[in-house]
Chains A and B, each alone.
Chain A
């Protein structure tokens, strides 16, 4: 048995995760009510509520408790189980699929069939606490991450239809994934390889005769898939009420349950007549990152989507730990920037700091009552700073690598293929 064989080590990692999922101790932690691990749009408790209502002929979107997409309703009333134990297994398999997709993206980026770093990358996804804790809490953010990585994988492979299909399903689970469509299209037209060292204007490597028309045809195909999925959603939900309650929720923020994000506290203390204005400001704030990042990293669209995932992992309306978790795990795909990171230690320490403060202040506020919401909001600000530091450092290194000159660039086991 070759321990370095990826299939073996991957199976061992997945086995470890399965064992973790079925440990009875995990049940006693009551993770699915934890505010850091799941938010109203991806909480398992609300999913069960919606499925119960749906099964008993009550429209789950008529009240204010259920914000999941109708696709979840159909999935869990047909093929997937709803019992907690089986759901843990399903969620672990979802994470395993996401890890496999991440390894596939790495392999596409290096044009390798297998490499010695595969196991490390799979472990970076499977054992990232920001990812496996929401997974144990049965947050549906695991599904979103898995679909995101699958779509990126197929985009890296250059297969437009599967990539756009998964992206359209992801659009229904999380509206903000549409921000990743531009780098997707760029990735489909060019290559996933690392061009960070050599920034040039955008070259459509895969399809030299590509034009704006090709990009528009990709967008059109995406819209067709999205429209088909919308019609399916309407069939399940029995009307168009789901649009307001799934996509509308992330735009109008009716539910102000605390989460590690930056929106909820702002809107708890806002006067009503300012609300539409600030909702617009926060949403446009997300939009405005797309164009600059895509323009700046047009030579390496995979890196651009990585940076945009970092932006989403900071500024999403209903944030959980899984969103910056995906960003941090994807750091493993870009080892060429490690010598150029300006403050990796500060970022790590900020993350440690935030990881200690978030549960502490949450408990101090809501369990013991000796603190108040400001405590928890301060810890989410620290968390935001940590994510911001990680993102800014990644972008800085991605740009700085083009200048070069750092020692230790070509040392080490892996010579990163750069063009």
Chain B
């Protein structure tokens, strides 16, 4: 009986020590990872969870000739929206296969319009087209996505994303069942795009991708994607055409496609502080309006659509925290923040998060265990102690 109690006591004691040790070493390991995670989740809160730090956009118009004016207008409309919502030119790759603004058939030279009545000039004075004319090829598009380029290619033509970039890829032109026509002489297939996205995933070139296609039978273009964190939408199903929205009588050609038109109309109601979600956008799609069946492919997308903000993909929202300049660098796991709430851009419908509570929580949750901290303290004291010992020894021994 005594032997039994001894062994059980010993067993429990050893288990207790082991569990103590494992929790010690388990909790200390990645404090810098914890600090980074803490930074991302602090202001996102439980409603959001997006952990991207920068936004990029790849906008491709793949068809040339004057009668494809609307495809150029599609791409430029998306370009304007994306710029308005905060993505800078350095983070936008705009590929236009033809120059309709300076086409000799353009009655309003230097302009591109997307509505009847010509109310808004999309060309403007401040656009940056990265790939123009004959540079818009399948090969260049795939090179942009995968980053496999010659060293001589300038930075403005590169997609310099990292593993925390959200990318908005928009393609428009003429397409069909699992292909999209480039420049009237070549085509890119849905398999090519899927493989390009997979290369990007392997190389950690994106955090999340939102892939939008506006062509005929567009939904087939994203049917072959197999990489995670890709949300895709297209304008029409297999066997359906996508239609243009309206003509302008003086320009003489169709100026915008319906799918893109309704997307842009939705975006006009969005500004940088908007909290509207992708689900809200997709809820506005309907066959009656768009004249074709838009599709949404969210199987590969890990976050719920009603928690994914539009500005996660379309905007370049920067999150700025003001840090007290005179703060003492202390032993906390996260940076101390002194956020000036009046300067944070937040819309009125969301209650301001309790930042102080978040900071306290982060401080307590990330506290290092004592053993490696003690080692670090000892290591830091070593030179000071050695200098002190040597100095006293030298002074003593005249």
Question: Which chain B residues in 188-222 approach chain A with CB under 8 Å?
Answer: none
- Digit string of B206-241 for contact with A (CB within 8 Å is 1, else 0)? 000000000000000000000000000000000000
**CB of A177, distance to nearest CB on chain B (Å):** 17
Main secondary structure of the interface of B (DSSP, over half): helix
| Contacting residues, chain A, for B394 (C-beta < 8 A) | 161-162, 165
Contact: A56 with B35, CB < 8 Å? yes
Interface residue tally for chain A (C-beta within 8 Å): 33
With most chain B CB atoms within 10 A of its CB, the pick from A58, A71, A77, A229 is A77
Contact: A79 with B384, CB < 8 Å? yes
Question: Which chain B residues in 303-353 approach chain A with CB under 8 Å?
Answer: 326, 328-331, 333
> Is there a chain A Cβ closer than 8 Å to B151's Cβ?
no
Q: Given A161-B394, A225-B390, A228-B386: A56 and B380 within 8 A (CB)?
A: no
CA distance A51 to B382 in the complex (A): 16
Contact: B380 with A161, CB < 8 Å? no
Question: Which chain B residues in 251-274 approach chain A with CB under 8 Å?
Answer: none
- Digit string of A69-87 for contact with B (CB within 8 Å is 1, else 0)? 0110111011101111100
**CB of A79, distance to nearest CB on chain B (Å):** 6
Question: Which chain B residues in 337-395 approach chain A with CB under 8 Å?
Answer: 376, 379-384, 386-387, 390-391, 394-395
> Is there a chain B Cβ closer than 8 Å to A233's Cβ?
yes
| Contacting residues, chain B, for A55 (C-beta < 8 A) | 329-331
> Is there a chain A Cβ closer than 8 Å to B31's Cβ?
yes
| Contacting residues, chain A, for B382 (C-beta < 8 A) | 74, 232, 235-236
Contact: B380 with A236, CB < 8 Å? yes
Contact: A52 with B329, CB < 8 Å? yes
B31, B329, B390: which contacts A165 (Cβ < 8 A)? B390
Contact: A51 with B329, CB < 8 Å? yes
| Contacting residues, chain A, for B380 (C-beta < 8 A) | 73-74, 77-78, 236
Contact: A71 with B397, CB < 8 Å? no
Q: Given A162-B395, A165-B391, A238-B379: A74 and B326 within 8 A (CB)?
A: no
> Is there a chain B Cβ closer than 8 Å to A411's Cβ?
no
Q: Given A169-B387, A225-B390: A84 and B326 within 8 A (CB)?
A: yes
> Is there a chain B Cβ closer than 8 Å to A48's Cβ?
yes
| Contacting residues, chain B, for A71 (C-beta < 8 A) | 383
Question: Which chain A residues in 50-99 approach chain B with CB under 8 Å?
Answer: 51-52, 55-58, 70-71, 73-75, 77-79, 81-85
CA distance A159 to B397 in the complex (A): 11
B31, B333, B384: which contacts A78 (Cβ < 8 A)? B384
| Contacting residues, chain A, for B376 (C-beta < 8 A) | 57
Known: A71-B383, A81-B328. 11 other contacts (CB 8 A): A56-B31, A74-B381, A78-B381, A79-B384, A83-B328, A162-B395, A165-B391, A229-B386, A233-B383, A236-B380, A236-B382
Q: Can you give 13 A-B contacts (C-beta < 8 A)?
A: A48-B329, A55-B329, A57-B32, A71-B383, A74-B382, A74-B383, A159-B398, A165-B391, A225-B390, A233-B383, A236-B379, A236-B382, A236-B383
Can you list the 8 inter-chain pairs with the closest CB atoms, starting with the nearest? A232-B383, A74-B383, A161-B394, A77-B380, A235-B382, A83-B328, A74-B380, A232-B386
